Amino acid sequence: MATQAERSITRRSSGRPPWLARAPLPLQLLKGLLITGIVAVMAFPFISVILTSFAAPGASRGLVPDAFSLDAYRSILTGGVVSRALVVSIGVTAVGTTLSVIVTVLLAFGLTRTREMPGGRVILFGILATMLFSAGIIPSYLLVRELGLLDSYWSLILPTLVSAFNLVVVRNFFMELPQDLLDAARIDGASEWRVLWAIVVPLSRAVIAVIALFYAVGYWNGFFNALLYIQDSSKWPIQLVLNTYVLQGSPLSQIQNPDLTPPLQSIQMAVVVLATVPVLLVYPFVQRYFTKGVLTGAIKG
């Protein structure tokens, strides 16, 4: 085991701590090969799905079809169930993410001053308790029914409006902000609303982007709430349509254009692509905030 003196010498010679020292070249090559293999294994199924979705009628069903066509996408996007479900999912995701971020930011900012807010600690402990205990499916369903939210888009938003985990991350991030800056604004006469929107929010773009991504992915992938609360098929989000028409193998005639006859498997894979690609397109824009927002918000001190 290296002594303190040896660690100090290593750190002075390399200019960085031992755990950040550059690995030997063979080890770097081994890591590169390992990571490349993992990426290939993970990307292979998705590439296969994409290629199959573009297969033309009569094309071979191998990894790479011998003929390509857009008929599957034309069929499901010409006013059928899938196109309507995409609109529903986009609307629920946009409205739900916006409301969730606003409520989470407001609640987290208020809970940063639990000592000054009456009942603040009780509220905080009550929120944290939801990370360990839940009411269960039947009480949740009865509550949604009594509120008159069955077959309503709000049943896909309100039950998951605030995530306790996201709230804790944002609250800890707010508590790491320089309090002297906030106190100076208050001394100058700024109200709590002005302190929040003019100082706290601009300094917290990283963590807000991260929780917005978390909420958006949650709403977009929401399946169980739709299965539980939405009986009208015209209000189904894309994930429920994906389950019904692809995984359960139900007839797809309702989502096809009668003038187009793409292979059934191509239509199924096209629905999978449409349900997956939006998240992949959004993630790169918030990826640069991801590490900073999560680490700063989740680690105290």
Question: Which position has the token pair 């359960």?
Answer: 248
pLDDT digits (tens, 9 = 90+) for 111-160: 887 676 777 788 888 888 888 887 788 888 999 999 998 989 999 999 98
Structural domain includes residue 66: no
User: CA angle, 149 as apex, 144 and 152 as ends, to 5°?
Assistant: 135
The residues facing 55 across adjacent strands are 68
Q: How many structural domains are present in the chain?
A: 1
Structural domain includes residue 228: yes
Structural domain includes residue 291: yes
- Res 252: pLDDT: 46
Structural domain includes residue 120: yes
Q: Determine phi and psi for 203, rounding to 5 degrees.
A: -80, -10
The residues facing 68 across adjacent strands are 55
Task: Return the number of other C-beta atoms located less than 10 Å from residue 44's C-beta.
Answer: 11
Structure tokens at 64: 């790479």
Structural domain includes residue 26: no
Give the CATH number of the domain where residue 199 resides: 1.10.3720.10
- Provide Rg for the chain, Cα atoms: 25
Structural domain includes residue 50: no
Question: Which position has the token pair 């995701």?
Answer: 93
Helix or strand holding residue 268 (H, E):
helix 264-298
pLDDT digits (tens, 9 = 90+) for 55-78: 777 666 666 777 777 877 887 777
Counting residues of the chain whose pLDDT is more than 90, the rounded percentage is 16
Structure tokens at 175: 């508590």
- Res 67: pLDDT: 74
Closest CA to 84 of 253, 255, 243: 255
Rounded to two decimals, what is the model's pTM?
0.78
Helix or strand holding residue 123 (H, E):
helix 120-129
Structural domain includes residue 49: no
The pLDDT mean for the chain works out to 80
Give the domain extent around 96: 80-298
3-state helix, strand, coil in the chain (%, to 5): 70, 0, 30
CA distance linking residue 26 with residue 19, whole number of Å: 17
Structural domain includes residue 8: no
Structure tokens at 111: 């809970």
Most confident of 19-33, 34-48, 71-85: 34-48
CA distance linking residue 46 with residue 55, whole number of Å: 15
User: Who's near 217: CB < 8 A, 6+ residues apart?
Assistant: 279
CA 248 from chain center: how many Å? 25
